[in-house]
Structure 1
Amino acid sequence: MKSHPASLLAEVRTFRQNHPDVRYVDLIALDIPGHFYGKRYPIEMLEKVAAGSPLKLPQNAVLLGAQGGLFKIGDYCFNDGDPDANRRLVPGTLKPVSWESQPLGQMLITSDGTEAPIEFEPREVLAKVLERLHHKGIHPVVAFELEFYLFDKKLDNGLPQFARDPLSDDADDQPNLHIERLSRFSEVLDDMAHTAKDQGIDITVITAEIGPGQFEINFGHLDDGLRAADWAALFCRSTRGVALKHGYRASFMAKPYLQYPGSGMHVHVSLYDGAGNNLLAAHQQQPLRHAVAGCLELLPHCMPIFSPNHNAFRRLGGTVNAATRASWGFEDRDACVRIPESDPRNLRIEHRLASADANPYLVLAAILVGLEHGLEAKREPIAPLNEDRSSGTDFPLDMLDAVRTMQHQAVLRDKLGAEFVDVYCENKRQDHLAFQQEINAREYRWFL
């Protein structure tokens, strides 16, 4: 909901008192591909916005492609006069930026909670889903986990190089999950964690993952789904900045190496009623089974959200813990939907399919819609992998097939919004076609 101007003004003035050297603040929001766009405001102008002055940015900035270009999507972009749309400041997100060479601040902005929210803005899509669930007495608790790779700062003919071990100056060769890797890269990892906490993000567990230079960061559980997605988005931005400061590149690219595991976005979700009772645990966990069935039913139709680009589809199958079929299981990391062992109070699903570079607002919205649909339809799920290792239903494994599967799905059009679904699918279709408009060296090598 929209914050009172007095509280926003107090937030800005407190920030100025604590950071008198900051002259500019980046006002940022996530577009459809999951990149930040926005404007850099003088701190004095930010005070005026906090006090109630209009904050407007082009509506179509949300529609940018992966490379920043605009596509013709219906009447948007080229037949609508490129109108401005109101944004508002997100309370509690004004924080210092410590990875830039000059003192700087940043603050999230959004169209949700304004008089005319942008229907296809990712944060607005999630806000509408959460509002509907709250009206039904359903209160999600959410935690994200993000995997990423560290690379050497310099590319080799455009290709990534392994992160250099600070102790030996050799490529990272530590065994998977080896605690020694955390020690050897502790300087940059500690800075990433400290910087994230400065952004208000609750960092918990840090793990050295299977790939060379690959790590996973877990966040604390939140009863505010918007804030949980904010954390995931802001963490990606700060982590890339901190890595560059230390002479590395950090990337959430889904599959940077064919021979090593990809990077995923795992999302833990519990559902509670107004009294704090875990809805999934009631009636011998029957609602859990219904919720799983809903997730699996809609999963094939949400693939453009979970795998938002050509590279993300490379992550599926062929490596550890990356499924190629919609499946579920108890304590089974090969499943798309895993049920971690827990007591009834903390019973939850862990959705493991999304790639690390997916848009966290849309990933969470899609998962919640699946859970909501399952609770309403009350169907039984397919057999879990614990009972049948071949259990699962197929889902699209390329973008054009995926957008065809998503665009006309009635539940998604109803619960995510038909306008959003149409805009999103066309954005992904155009992005994919633009990506194909280049002949690479292998194509000449094979067919010239």
Structure 2
Amino acid sequence: MSTELKEFLNAHPDVQTIELLTTDLNGMVRGKRVEREAIRKVYKDGFSLPASVYAVDATGTTVEASGLGMDTGDADRICRPVPGTLTLVPWLEGRAQALVTMFETDGVTPFPADPRQVLQRVLGQFQTLGYAPVVAVELEFYLVDRERDAWGRLQPPVSPTTGRRMNSTQVYSMDDLDDYDAFIQEALRMAREQNLPADGVIAEYAPGQFEVNLHHCKDPMMAADHAIMLKRIIRHAAREFGLEATFMAKPYIDQAGSGTHIHLSMLDDQGQNIFTAEDPEQHTPLRHAIGGLLKTADQSQALLFPTINSYRRLSSEIYAPNSKTWGYDNRTVAMRIPSGDAAAYRVEHRLAGADANPYLAVAAVLAGVQYGLTHKADPGPAVVGNAYEQDHENLADNPRDALRAFEKSAWVQETFGTAFTSVYAACKWGETRLFEQQVTPMELDLLLPYV
């Protein structure tokens, strides 16, 4: 028995059930539960899950074009718990959880379609640079009322303090934080219980929208683990207060979208930040890193925009970047250098939607930076002023263009692996067709009576 498991079981004799968790391509948590008497065998030998768990669409149905379904007899692979992730489940007594990752049937070879293994692959490549990445993740999300409005649409929640429904944009509002302080404190309590470094919550740019910040982490894999666990906490904390929390990229078409913002700095072998500079816009390593992120943005966009809803977030002038741009202390660009102490200079990558799988988003960012530093990529001039009002090269505004760029990229194949890219593309083409083949209520309202 592992020392971690032995100490945990001794410390928590009331724990009877352990949840073993992984994420599919969309970042949805999947897995299985085992009872206390079975967990020792899991830690010793692993356990079986079908490989198709990484080849499901938004409906939870296996995408057969991935090659991981009936073509293989829906065969199993071996999952093993991730050391250091065994922890209590704060919202259920007698329950614990651990993250797991998948291997081939030999129990040793990483399974290429597991998003966690994709990030591990990229981290292995990144190590050749000789720098240590430091990553922090910010997650935006909405609280919504569990009841829909008279037309069946989402609506902001009713304040438990004032009894009024939120209906205005009050960015950084302290009153909004006060109104939902009980929810926020419960979410932060749960985070502390799972040792997650959640260090702040702010009211964002729309009614019911909030952002929670995770502290920077010298282990990018751990930073992604924390993001997965925190998303789950926020959803469960919301339920305790009769609310729903959603990480959809664009739940309201007329309000701001939600993003996953990834902050990245890099340390040399002396522990010094290589992005430190008196003039960040002229600093060579920082410019090359940003250049790589911009040069690879088209090719990796499909990883950062996993659903058709992701692309609805690209509305102009609501702080979602829709062009390949960068700048200093500028929230209208894709790659922002936040202001502050020069020793803490970093890149804030603002492209990914809140619906992105954190493992794949962090992998895309690290891979882009590696490309930039290796190829000395030039990002061009920094944007000054409102990028939305200027002429810049745009990102794809639909999944078809993004998937085409993803599939035809030799860099994507080499960086993320041909097996993963094949599975990912098959699943995302399937989802794209699934959503495109729906008849929407607007079509019925506008066309049915007249056409």
Please give the TM-score of this superposition, normalised by the length of structure 1.
0.93
Q: Confirm or deny that 1:164 pairs with 2:155.
A: no
In 1, Cα distance between equivalents of 2:67 and 2:262: 35
Q: CA deviation at 1:372?
A: 0.5
After TM superposition, the structure 1 stretch with the greater mean CA deviation from structure 2, 63-72 or 385-394, is 385-394
Residue 126 of structure 1: how far off its partner (Å):
0.4
Could you tell me how far apart the structure 1 residues matched to 2:386 and 2:179 are? 41
Equivalent in the alignment of 1:207: 202
Give secondary structure in 2 for the equivalent of 1:394.
coil
Contact 1:266 1:350 in 2 (8 A): yes
Tell me the equivalent position of 1:332: 330
Select between 203-212 and 155-164 the one with higher mean Cα deviation. 155-164
Q: Which residue among 165, 174, 180 is the counterpart of 1:179?
A: 174
Matched-pair contact (CA < 8 Å) for 1:119–1:419: yes
Distance in 2 (CA, whole Å) between partners of 1:302 and 1:435 is 21
User: Does the residue aligned with 1:111 lie in a helix, a strand or coil?
Assistant: strand
1:153 aligns with 2:151: no
Alignment of 1:266 with 2:266, yes or no, is: no
Aligned partner of 1:82 in structure 2 is: 74
1:349 positional shift: 0.4
CA deviations 1:14-48 (Å, max 9, x no partner) are 32333322211110001111101100010121122
Cα distance change, pair 387–152 in 1 and its aligned pair in 2 (3 A): closer
> In 1, distance between residues paired with 2:242 and 2:46?
40
Residues in 1 aligned to 2:182 and 2:443: alpha-carbon distance in whole angstroms: 42
Which residue of structure 2 lines up, in the alignment, with residue 379 of structure 1?
Answer: 377
Q: In the aligned structure 1, how far is the partner of 2:261 from the partner of 2:275?
A: 19
Q: Distance in 2 between matches of 1:255 and 1:388?
A: 22
Equivalent residues in 2 for 1:278-297 (5 A)? Answer: 278-281=273-276, 285-297=283-295
**Which deviates the most, 379-388 or 125-134?**
379-388
Contact 2:55–2:66 (8 Å) recurs in 1 = no
Match of 1:62 among 54, 62, 66: 54
SS where residue 143 of structure 1 aligns? strand
Q: d(CA) in 1 for partners of 2:400 and 2:206?
A: 29
Q: Which residue of 2 aligns with 1:425?
A: 425
Percent of aligned positions that are identical: 34
- Contact map agreement 1:196 1:202 (CA 8 A) in 2: yes
SS in 2 for 1:194: helix
Q: Residue 100 of structure 2 is aligned with which of 88, 102, 109?
A: 109
Q: Quote how far apart the aligned CAs of 1:444 are.
A: 1.9
Partner of 1:219: 214
Q: CA deviation at 1:380?
A: 1.7
SS of the aligned residue for 1:118 comes to coil
Match of 1:17 in 2: 10
* Cα distance in 2 between the residues matched to 1:83 and 1:350: 40
User: Which has the higher mean CA deviation after the structures are superposed, 258-267 or 382-391?
Assistant: 382-391
Q: Are the aligned partners of 1:56 and 1:84 in contact in 2 as well (CA < 8 Å)?
A: yes
Q: Runs of 4+ in structure 1 displaced over 6 angstroms?
A: none
Verify the 8 A CA contact 1:112 1:127 in the aligned structure 2. no
Q: CA deviation at 1:66?
A: 1.4
Report the residue type matching 2:31 in the other structure: G
CA contact (8 A) 1:261 1:319 kept: no
What amino acid is aligned across from residue 34 of structure 2 in structure 1?
Y
| Cα deviation digits, residues 149-206 of structure 1 (max 9, x gap) | 1111223464222111011222124622211111111001100111012122101121
Match of 1:27 among 20, 32, 37: 20
CA 1:45/1:343 → structure 2, altered by over 3 Å: closer, same or farther? same
Q: 186, 195, 198: which one pairs with 1:191?
A: 186
**Mapped contact 1:112–1:123 kept (Cα < 8 A):** no
User: What amino acid sits opposite 1:324 in the alignment?
Assistant: N
Q: Secondary structure at the match of 1:419?
A: helix
CA distance in 2, matches of 1:366, 1:137: 19
Q: 2:398, 2:236 → 1: CA distance?
A: 31
- Kindly tell me the number of residue pairs found equivalent between the two proteins: 439
How far, CA to CA, are the matches of 1:333 and 1:428 in structure 2?
A: 29
Q: Assess if the C-alpha contact under 8 Å between 1:255 and 1:262 holds in 2.
A: yes
* Alpha-carbon distance between aligned partners in 2 of 1:282 and 1:124, rounded to the nearest angstrom: 34
Consecutive unaligned residues in structure 1, runs of 5 or more = 1-5
Q: Provide the alpha-carbon RMSD of the alignment.
A: 1.9
Q: CA deviation at 1:130?
A: 0.8
